[in-house]
Amino acid sequence: MDQGNHLRKVPFILVTGFLGSGKTSLLLDLVQKYSGRLRLAIVQNEFTPGHTDAFSLKQAGQSFELLEINNGSVFCACLLGDFITRLDLFIEKHKPDLILLEATGLADPMSLGQVLQAPELADKIYLAGSWCLADAPNFHRIIGTITRARNQVSIADIVWINKIDLVNNTAAIRAKVLEINPFARIIETTFGNTDQLDLFNSLSPVIPAQAGAVTPAKAGSGDRPDFSSCVVRSNRFFNEQKVRDFILEHSENLQRMKGYIRINESDTMAIQSVFTDLSIRIIAGYDGLSELIAIGQNLNKREFSKQLLSFEKR
């Protein structure tokens, strides 16, 4: 990779899913399919000090770089600083085309913004996607009792319903996923198979090529867009009309916006946009923090955050 490409940001995909959902199987499938076409970097985060998942990946016999961070979730305050430092050094050393972070099944990924906006990483990575694996035979048992599993679904761009061969049908699972995250793309699979996904078309939001057309950015090419990511979080309620006006104002100039903005105890704005293709829905039952993720090429993160937070109800 030449110096010009090195200065471009690297796409970063978060892979979540509760314990035993099949995250490592999915990564193994991606490694087998893409390791000869992309410089893959995999970050494996285990809650315990074991190395069994890393061993499984290495058995694939394919080329990829691996960073293991064990003994806790990388999104926990106790490991976050160390993780950011180690990931920064890892990127500098290996210069990957794509980073896949397999989070521990016990992770609550709501602190993802702290990783994306860390000074060491803000100019090196951008969020290309958040995926969540749902364990089909155990989904309802988990989602009804484990808050962090619900959070994993709520921030996902893609929810993979895995192990569908072990259930009679997935209608109730799909309905629950869309109740939690009405914008999620749902892919049904077995054994973590990724045949239904074109990874190259998943590495960045679409960008305009010319008037009336859009094209996906190609990984590893000199044309990779230099995206910035901004995550705004708050534990307050927001003024609905002001947030709507704000979203409309910014959507045309941003590749992606996605999130949940709470307007009162019972109602939440679920927001999803790809440029001017915008959807805002009022949903009930969301009990997390207000959080909005924005991705753009000319995004002033400080001003964007300041303006949105000014609409908090006092």
Between 106 and 304, where is the model more confident? 304
Between 74 and 125, where is the model more confident? 125
Average pLDDT, the chain: 81
Summarised one tens digit per residue, pLDDT across range 221-275 is: 334 445 677 888 899 999 999 999 999 999 888 877 888 899 999 999 988 886 6
Judge whether 31 and 42 are in contact, CB under 8 Å: yes
Domain shared by 116 and 179, yes or no: yes
Domain shared by 52 and 96, yes or no: yes
Domain shared by 115 and 260, yes or no: no
In this prediction, residue 180 carries a pLDDT of 92
Interstrand relation of 10-17 and 98-102 (parallel, antiparallel or unpaired): parallel
Check which CATH number belongs to the domain holding 82 and give it: 3.40.50.300
Question: Per-residue pLDDT averaged across 214-220, rounded?
Answer: 36
Element (H, E) at 148: helix 147-154
* Reported confidence tier of residue 218, pLDDT bands at 50, 70, 90: very low
- Domain assignment present for 218: no
- Domain assignment present for 222: no
Domain edge (last residue) among 185, 202, 219 = 202
- Number of neighbouring beta carbons within 10 Å of residue 131: 25
Domain shared by 163 and 67, yes or no: yes
- Domain assignment present for 175: yes
Domain shared by 12 and 122, yes or no: yes
DSSP 252-274: TT-SEEEEEEE-SSSEEEEEEEE
- Domain assignment present for 211: no
Domain shared by 20 and 164, yes or no: yes
Between 141 and 305, where is the model more confident? 305
In this prediction, residue 220 carries a pLDDT of 39
In this prediction, residue 213 carries a pLDDT of 28
DSSP 24-42: HHHHHHHHHHHTTTS-EEE
Domain extent, residue 294, equals: 227-309
What tokens does 16 get?
């979540």
- Domain assignment present for 219: no
Domain shared by 15 and 67, yes or no: yes
In this prediction, residue 313 carries a pLDDT of 92
* Percent of the chain whose predicted confidence (pLDDT) is above 70: 82
Domain shared by 82 and 146, yes or no: yes
Residue 20 has pLDDT above 90, yes or no: no
Question: Per-residue pLDDT averaged across 70-79, rounded?
Answer: 72
Residue 216 has pLDDT above 70, yes or no: no
Domain shared by 171 and 116, yes or no: yes
Domain shared by 137 and 245, yes or no: no
- Domain assignment present for 217: no
Rounded Cα gap, residues 88 and 119, in angstroms: 10
Domain edge (last residue) among 141, 168, 202 = 202
Number of domains in the chain: 2
> What's the pTM?
0.68
